[in-house]
């Protein structure tokens, strides 16, 4: 799909440009110009720097170097063992206080990967990953989920969410498939736009957070699904399949876009001036912040100075840095003074950063919104998340109308490694990256499937349990909860995405006991189902539902009816992978749009 004239005026839709206060108060653009007229080169460069919090050598460096933003890296806690929203509010406010000591008192942006709720902060509601949200097809629910996330972020002092992922995942082997709403560009675009509106609001303001569409562009199309790999498609396919979610995000007013680590046409995207400056900022009229991925600029070339020059010249506005922020500042200053990077390029970057900070109201209210702390993990938010989860589970099989199950069955035999695992039902990007191993009390953090089941059935129903399904003889039904274990990014790349042998064992054992089997699959991608499907009487794909797994149990017992439809194709065999709508003649096991109800 070629970019047409209807996108030329997209910048008019970016809501940050025309905001102004009542009366004769200056507009945001006027305030930006006034501020920039006062700024030195060093102060401008500081605004282009995002430092990983664990690599900040001293909070005093925020004041000394005028650092513009920080990012909460996965696994970093404000203090050892302390990772609550209150802990983060205290920590973020401390960092912000150093920004308030600078000459111009330009506030700090604090970023985090809150990709399915503010799930890196202990006690927050963990929402379904995008793959499940895409199956809901419900833009209003996606918007509500993002708004809930924004509230829990602002309570903890975070103002920049490195989400939503706008990838159109086209290979089941890719380790970030669960971050993609769909293999279908149009559905992904709708979902991304809804998420942006939820995070930011109709216009970015002090109640929202800065959203970030990522990773521009084509990260879901790498060869063999290798994370950060090579994108080997032509420009026409790139535009037709992978541009629509970004176009939709820009139309929705997204305030930032993150670049992909991947290569297109053999060149790292972080250094591609054509894609960043000419297409994203020029053709698409994107007027927000272009941010690098973590240390992504240093993969452009072998020489550090060359990397920085090419990245900034290509149009990157904010550079996400690990431990070398002081070196970066020194080198960029030298490059500008040597006239290798234009002062206008620096001004363009700083203007975009200040635009977001003014729109968020941080100059007036820079600190955490502690009045929202009571909402973090609240019953109100959990009830809302439960309704969202109900809309994400896809029913693929229901022989003899086994579902919904009665709540007064004499005995239910529960099995499978994921039946009592918060980690497996939440997936990656949760607490300490992959699981709950560093959380002090996982039971209070959320509810497992086993706990939700006990809460659902009547007092006369016995629940027996064995991970391997042994002992099911005589049960009214067997429920087997299986699936993937948590992973993130390249750790999730799988050359053979199939149901694991350990997951087939409990299915076989219960089926051998002549007990009808209900399989609940917790997964971050379509898998080759094999025996798991054929030996079951009912099969529900729960994806990665998060802490409010009660919503999945509701679907099994009729407290909610399944309504979700597949947003990704399920292959019949390994040989069919990758399989996508509109590609080739192979017929998937289950097509996009498949899904039963009762």
- Which residues are designated catalytic? 293, 489
Beta carbons of 76 and 56 less than 8 angstroms apart:
no
**Through-space distance between the first and last CA atoms of the chain, rounded to whole angstroms:** 38
Edge-to-edge strands, sheet with 462-465: 394-398, 538-541, 517-522, 477-483, 411-415, 462-465
Q: Please say whether the beta carbons of 131 and 178 come within 8 A.
A: yes
For the four alpha carbons of 48, 53, 58 and 60, in that order, the dihedral sign comes to: positive
Question: What is d(CA 479, CA 246) in angstroms, rounded to the nearest whole number?
Answer: 41
Cα angle value 104/107/109 (rounded, 5°) = 145
**Which tokens go with 224?**
């063999």
Strands 477-483, 109-112: pairing is unpaired
Closest CA to 133 of 189, 191, 190, 183: 191
Q: Please state, in angstroms and rounded to a whole number, the distance separating the CA atoms of residues 557 and 550.
A: 11
Distance (Å, rounded) from C-alpha 408 to C-alpha 457?
6
Q: Return d(Cα 63, Cα 103) in angstroms, integer.
A: 9
CA angle 474, 480, 481 (to 5 degrees): 155
Residue 140: Cβ within 10 Å count:
11
Structure tokens at 546: 């998060």
d(CA 497, CA 493): 9
Output the CA–CA distances (angstroms, integers) from residue 211 to 452, 476, 497, in the order listed: 33, 48, 31
Q: Using an 8 Å Cβ cutoff, are 316 and 259 in contact? A: yes
Question: Could you tell me the maximum CA-CA distance found in the chain, to the nearest angstrom?
Answer: 81
Answer yes or no: are the C-beta atoms of 431 and 439 closer than 8 Å: yes
Question: Cα 524 to chain center, whole Å?
Answer: 12
From CA 2, how far away is CA 179, in angstroms rounded? 26
- Residues facing residue 413 across a β-bridge: 464, 478
- Integer Rg of the chain from CA: 24
Where residue 332 falls (left for φ over 0; alpha for ψ -120 to 50; beta otherwise) is alpha
In Å, what is the CA distance from 443 to each residue of 343, 450, 452, 553? 54, 11, 12, 17
Q: What are phi and psi of 245, to 5 degrees?
A: -65, -30
């Amino acid at each position: 799909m070629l970019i047409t004239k209807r996108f030329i005026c997209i910048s008019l839709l970016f809501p940050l440009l025309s905001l102004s206060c009542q009366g004769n108060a200056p507009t945001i653009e006027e305030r930006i110009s006034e501020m920039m007229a006062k700024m030195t080169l060093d102060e401008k460069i500081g605004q282009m720097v995002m430092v990983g919090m664990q690599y900040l050598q001293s909070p005093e460096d925020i004041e000394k170097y005028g650092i513009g933003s920080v990012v909460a890296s996965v696994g970093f806690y404000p203090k050892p063992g302390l990772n609550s929203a209150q802990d983060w509010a205290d920590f973020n406010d401390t960092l912000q206080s150093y920004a308030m000591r600078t000459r111009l008192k330009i506030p700090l942006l604090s970023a985090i990967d809150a990709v399915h709720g503010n799930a890196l902060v202990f006690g927050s509601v963990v929402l379904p990953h995008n793959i499940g949200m895409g199956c809901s097809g419900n833009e209003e629910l996606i918007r509500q989920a993002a708004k809930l996330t924004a509230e829990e972020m602002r309570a903890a002092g975070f103002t920049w969410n490195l989400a939503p992922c706008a990838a159109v995942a086209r290979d089941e082997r890719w380790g970030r498939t669960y971050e993609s709403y769909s293999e279908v560009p149009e559905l992904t675009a709708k979902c991304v736009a809804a998420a942006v509106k939820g995070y930011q609001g109709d216009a970015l303001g002090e109640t929202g957070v800065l959203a970030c569409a990522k990773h521009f562009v084509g990260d879901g199309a790498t060869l063999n699904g290798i994370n950060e790999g090579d994108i080997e498609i032509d420009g026409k396919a790139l535009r037709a399949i992978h541009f629509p979610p970004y176009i939709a995000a820009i139309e929705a007013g997204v305030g930032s876009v993150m670049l992909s680590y991947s290569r297109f046409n053999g060149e790292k995207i972080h250094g591609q001036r054509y894609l960043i400056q000419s297409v994203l900022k020029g053709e698409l009229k994107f007027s927000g912040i272009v941010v690098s991925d973590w240390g992504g600029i240093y993969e452009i070339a072998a020489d550090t100075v060359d990397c920085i020059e090419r990245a900034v010249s290509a149009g990157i506005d904010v550079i996400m840095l690990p431990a070398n922020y002081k070196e970066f500042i020194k080198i960029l200053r030298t490059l500008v003074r040597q006239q290798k990077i234009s002062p206008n390029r620096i001004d363009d970057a700083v203007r975009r950063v200040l635009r977001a900070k003014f729109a968020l109201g941080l100059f007036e209210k820079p600190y955490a919104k502690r009045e929202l702390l009571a909402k973090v993990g609240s019953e109100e938010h959990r009830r809302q998340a439960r309704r969202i989860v109900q809309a994400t589970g896809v029913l693929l099989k229901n022989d003899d109308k086994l579902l919904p199950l009665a709540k007064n069955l004499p005995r239910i035999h529960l099995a499978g490694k994921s039946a009592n695992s918060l980690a497996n039902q939440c997936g990656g990007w949760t607490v300490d990256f992959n699981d709950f191993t560093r959380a002090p009390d996982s039971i209070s953090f959320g509810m497992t499937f086993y706990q939700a089941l006990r809460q659902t059935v009547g007092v006369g129903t016995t629940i027996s349990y064995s991970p391997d399904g042994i002992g099911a003889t005589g049960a009214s039904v067997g429920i087997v909860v299986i699936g993937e274990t948590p992973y993130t990014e390249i750790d999730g790349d799988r050359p053979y995405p199939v149901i694991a042998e350990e997951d087939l064992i409990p299915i076989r054992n219960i089926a051998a006991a002549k007990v009808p089997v209900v399989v609940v699959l917790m997964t971050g991608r379509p898998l080759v189902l094999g025996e798991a499907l054929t030996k079951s009487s009912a099969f529900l794909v729960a994806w990665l539902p998060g802490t409010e797994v009660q919503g999945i149990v509701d679907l099994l017992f009729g407290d909610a009816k399944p309504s979700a439809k597949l947003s990704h194709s399920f292959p019949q065999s390994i040989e069919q992978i990758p399989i996508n709508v509109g590609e080739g003649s192979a017929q998937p096991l289950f097509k996009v749009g498949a899904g039963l109800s009762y």
